Amino acid sequence: MEKLMFQNGVKKDQLLSAVNDDHGGVIVEFKEPMDPIVFQNMLKASLSKWRLQGKKGVWIKLPIECVNLVETAVEEGFWYHHAEPHYLMLVYWIPKTENTIPANASHRVGIGAIVLNDKRELLVVQENCGRLKGTAVWKIPTGVVEEGEDIFEGAIREVKEETGIDTEFLEVLAFRQTHKALFEKSDLFFICMMRPLSFDIQKQDLEIEAAQWMPIEEYEAQPFVQKHVLFKYIVDLCLTKAERGYPGFTPVPITSFFDAGASFLYLNNDGLNDENSAAHL
Amino acid sequence: MEKLMFQNGVKKDQLLSAVNDDHGGVIVEFKEPMDPIVFQNMLKASLSKWRLQGKKGVWIKLPIECVNLVETAVEEGFWYHHAEPHYLMLVYWIPKTENTIPANASHRVGIGAIVLNDKRELLVVQENCGRLKGTAVWKIPTGVVEEGEDIFEGAIREVKEETGIDTEFLEVLAFRQTHKALFEKSDLFFICMMRPLSFDIQKQDLEIEAAQWMPIEEYEAQPFVQKHVLFKYIVDLCLTKAERGYPGFTPVPITSFFDAGASFLYLNNDGLNDENSAAHL
């Protein structure tokens, strides 16, 4: 290809470096800032080439230090796909057909941890912040599962952070899906049964006003619990699990079906495997 | 406050319109484009006022038409929180303390639908796109739950879209969590048991190469299924459910614990409520 010079000295055929994705598209990842005019010329030339190559989706990942290139990308037809504190992902669809760009993450994932000791006492906290601040309501430890964290890991971490108690994860007893929890995003909240491995409470000061082991009847008797269906379900699930063996889901490691890494399948493994005992029921 | 004029005629004390959020912060939502210099002056003045008022988080929602303001917001200390195709949400934390800005959505939610008819035939499809394209592998219908959609609704919709079959949602039998499914985001995949309400297949052409009712033994015998743990689990779950009553989770509507709207709690409702039968076990 002949190298044409632009007035600003940028060669017309200088292209953005891109790697192919698994779906017939390309990904451009910026590491360092660039002049917007240089970027615009390279982007136009690159899009022409990718169009000729029959590429489909084009992803541009701009670290926040490259914020000066966002406007140019949008001028060239890109739109936002997702953003995290340190970067913005833009996307463009070359073919004339309807785009098959995958949807952005839509859910936050939270956990509530039921930690019951041998005296039928529940591990409960009062919060310093959030909507229950100042209400003196005792609740189970809750928290948000972090990026890349397994649900059971998040439950163990949150209990440890808020109360200092070490726990073993037993089962997911139930989960709740809500919508518009944060702006337009949805929320999945997993109610987890945990076994305490230590008993001396060391509460965290930033978010937790107080923490204690509380007889479950005392927890249940709180007017707030009586008024809120989810809180009542937590009592029922806890007691049913403790007394009658309610069937929850336990995490089983499986190799992921396309990827190399392991992931966890949450299911009733006893109900699946124990053919003999099931046949006797 | 005295009204000072800037060289460009913008009054120094013109402020951005903002509404309070529930956590001591403010939200600024742009509807129309604005000159970046005007924006910068208004933003500086507004931040000074909010600081005096003891405000905490400041959210700025910029529709993509206002992309020319992104660079200015970042210059003033804002960072990205999240983005959707039509807008970018930026955020700033005024206090000197560590920020308590909530995390962005971290998970995509998908479903796989096990639809078994009375002849022990499984509803299966071959896909036109994605990683199984061209492999002739028969798989259960799968799809991504849309923003604001309940899991059971998503499962019913996907089966209908891909195969034309109407179904009733029965239970979540298991779910899998994987990480780095799309860029840094995680994935929750719910395996759902459905009862068919119609039987004449009308396949969708865009994503589906073929669809049929297949004897479950034939599905299981596929080499691909034998090689992939998750596919084998799907067979086991389906057969256990059909033959022995594997305990899955059913959705129960509950009123949300802070909000007015209803949401769904997925749990083993029989295991929770049926005290008499449980006592007899």
Q: What is the per-residue pLDDT across A76-109, written as a single tens digit (0 to 9) for each?
A: 999 999 999 999 999 999 999 888 888 888 899 9
Residue B138 sits at φ, ψ, to 5 deg, of -90, 130
HEC sequence for B29-65: ECCCCCCHHHHHHHHHHHHHHHHHCCCCEEEEEEEHH
Residue B253 sits at φ, ψ, to 5 deg, of -70, 135
User: What is the pLDDT at residue A153?
Assistant: 97
d(CA A181, CA A179): 5
Residue A176 sits at φ, ψ, to 5 deg, of -120, 140
Give the long-range contacts of residues B230-237, CB within 8 A, separation 24 or more. B230/A254, B230/A256, B230/A257, B230/A265, B230/B176, B231/A257, B231/B139, B233/A254, B233/A265, B233/A267, B233/B174, B233/B191, B234/B112, B234/B114, B234/B140, B234/B191, B236/A272, B237/A267, B237/A272, B237/B114, B237/B173, B237/B174, B237/B191, B237/B193
d(CA A235, CA A219): 8
Q: Indicate the helix (H) or strand (E) that contains B218.
A: helix B216-221
Report the residue of A147, A150, A269 to disrupt the B interface, i.e. the one with the largest count of B CBs within 10 Å.
Answer: A147
Residue of higher predicted confidence among A23 and A109? A109
Nearest CA in chain B to A97: B206
How would you write the pLDDT of chain B (281 residues) with one tens digit per residue?
Answer: 334 444 444 455 689 999 998 889 999 999 888 999 999 999 999 999 999 999 999 999 999 999 999 999 999 999 999 999 999 999 999 999 888 888 888 899 999 999 999 999 999 999 987 778 888 899 999 999 988 899 999 999 999 999 999 999 999 999 999 987 777 789 999 999 999 999 999 988 888 999 999 999 999 999 999 888 899 999 999 999 988 889 999 999 998 655 556 799 999 988 888 654 443 33
Q: Would you call B236 and A264 a contact, using CB atoms and an 8 Å cutoff?
A: no
User: What is the pLDDT at residue B279?
Assistant: 35
Beta-bridge partner residues of A59? A27, A91
Q: Would you call A105 and B144 a contact, using CB atoms and an 8 Å cutoff?
A: no
Nearest CA in chain A to B129: A23
Q: Is the distance from CB of B171 to CB of B152 less than 8 angstroms?
A: no
Residue of higher predicted confidence among A16 and B207? A16
Q: How confident is the model at residue A256 (pLDDT cuts 50, 70, 90)?
A: low
Residues of A in contact with B236 (CB under 8 A): 272
User: What is the pLDDT at residue A281?
Assistant: 36
User: Looking at chain B, which residues constitute the CATH 3.90.79.10 domain(s)?
Assistant: 107-244
Q: Would you call B83 and A106 a contact, using CB atoms and an 8 Å cutoff?
A: no
Q: Would you call A184 and B84 a contact, using CB atoms and an 8 Å cutoff?
A: yes
Query: Would an 8 Å CB–CB cutoff place A224 in contact with chain B?
Result: no
Query: Would an 8 Å CB–CB cutoff place A226 in contact with chain B?
Result: no
Nearest CA in chain B to A173: B267
Q: How confident is the model at residue A277 (pLDDT cuts 50, 70, 90)?
A: very low
What is the nearest CA distance from B4 to chain A, expressed in angstroms? 30
What is the nearest CA distance from A197 to chain B, expressed in angstroms? 25
Catalytic residues of B: 161
A155-169 pLDDT, tens digit per residue, is: 999 999 999 999 999
Residues of A in contact with B247 (CB under 8 A): 247, 268, 271
Nearest one of A65, A2, A71 to A30, comparing CA atoms = A65
Largest Cα–Cα distance of chain A, in whole Å? 84
Arithmetic mean of pLDDT, A17-33: 91
Interface of B with A in 25-54 (CB under 8 A): none
Beta-bridge partner residues of A264? A253, B177
For residue A135, the 8-state DSSP code is S
Question: Residue A235, Cβ neighbours under 10 Å: how many?
Answer: 19
User: Looking at chain B, which residues constitute the CATH 3.40.630.30 domain(s)?
Assistant: 18-93
User: What is the pLDDT at residue B191?
Assistant: 97
Residues of A in contact with B246 (CB under 8 A): 268, 271-272
Q: Give the mean pLDDT of chain A.
A: 89
Nearest CA in chain B to A228: B257
AA letter at B184: E
Query: Would an 8 Å CB–CB cutoff place B148 in contact with chain A?
Result: yes
User: What is the pLDDT at residue B11?
Assistant: 53
Residues of A in contact with B111 (CB under 8 A): none
User: What is the pLDDT at residue B103?
Assistant: 83
Question: Residue B152, Cβ neighbours under 10 Å: how many?
Answer: 24
Out of A24-33, A180-189, A199-208, B207-216, pick the least confident.
A180-189
A221-238 pLDDT, tens digit per residue, is: 999 998 888 999 999 999
Report the residue of B178, B207, B258 to disrupt the A interface, i.e. the one with the largest count of A CBs within 10 Å.
Answer: B178
% residues pLDDT > 90 (chain A): 67
Residue B100 sits at φ, ψ, to 5 deg, of -115, 35
Question: Residue B117, Cβ neighbours under 10 Å: how many?
Answer: 13
Residues of A in contact with B169 (CB under 8 A): none
Sheet holding A26-29, edge to edge: A19-20, A26-29, A57-63, A87-93, A79-84
Interface of A with B in 239-278 (CB under 8 A): 240, 244, 246-249, 254-259, 261, 263-268, 271-272, 275, 278
Query: Would an 8 Å CB–CB cutoff place B199 in contact with chain A?
Result: no
Q: How confident is the model at residue A29 (pLDDT cuts 50, 70, 90)?
A: very high
- CATH classification (class only), B18-93: alpha beta
User: What is the pLDDT at residue B2?
Assistant: 39
d(CA A174, CA A192): 8
> Which among A48-62, A259-273, B133-147 has the top mean pLDDT?
A48-62
d(CA B61, CA B69): 11
Q: Which of A74, A175, A184 sits opposite B147 (nearest CB)?
A: A184
Nearest CA in chain B to A180: B148
Q: Is the distance from CB of A82 to CB of A52 less than 8 angstroms?
A: no
Query: Would an 8 Å CB–CB cutoff place A133 in contact with chain B?
Result: no
Query: Would an 8 Å CB–CB cutoff place B229 in contact with chain A?
Result: yes
Tokens of A172: 């997911």
What is the nearest CA distance from A242 to chain B, expressed in angstroms? 12
For residue A237, the 8-state DSSP code is H
Q: Which of B84, B129, B236 sits opposite A104 (nearest CB)?
A: B84
**Homologous superfamily assigned to A107-244:** Nucleoside Triphosphate Pyrophosphohydrolase (3.90.79.10)
d(CA B217, CA A13): 57
The residue length of chain A stands at 281
User: What is the pLDDT at residue B255?
Assistant: 80
The residue length of chain B stands at 281
Give the long-range contacts of residues A1-7, CB within 8 A, separation 24 or more. A6/A41
Report the residue of B91, B109, B133, B187 to disrupt the A interface, i.e. the one with the largest count of A CBs within 10 Å.
Answer: B109
Residue B69 sits at φ, ψ, to 5 deg, of -100, -5
Instruction: Look up the pTM and report it.
Output: 0.87
Residue A10 reports pLDDT greater than 80: no
Query: Would an 8 Å CB–CB cutoff place A99 in contact with chain B?
Result: no
Give the contacts of A280 (CB within 8 A, at least 6 positions apart): none
Query: Would an 8 Å CB–CB cutoff place A84 in contact with chain B?
Result: yes
Q: How confident is the model at residue A11 (pLDDT cuts 50, 70, 90)?
A: low
Tokens of B259: 């909000």
User: What is the pLDDT at residue A22?
Assistant: 81
User: What is the pLDDT at residue B136?
Assistant: 87
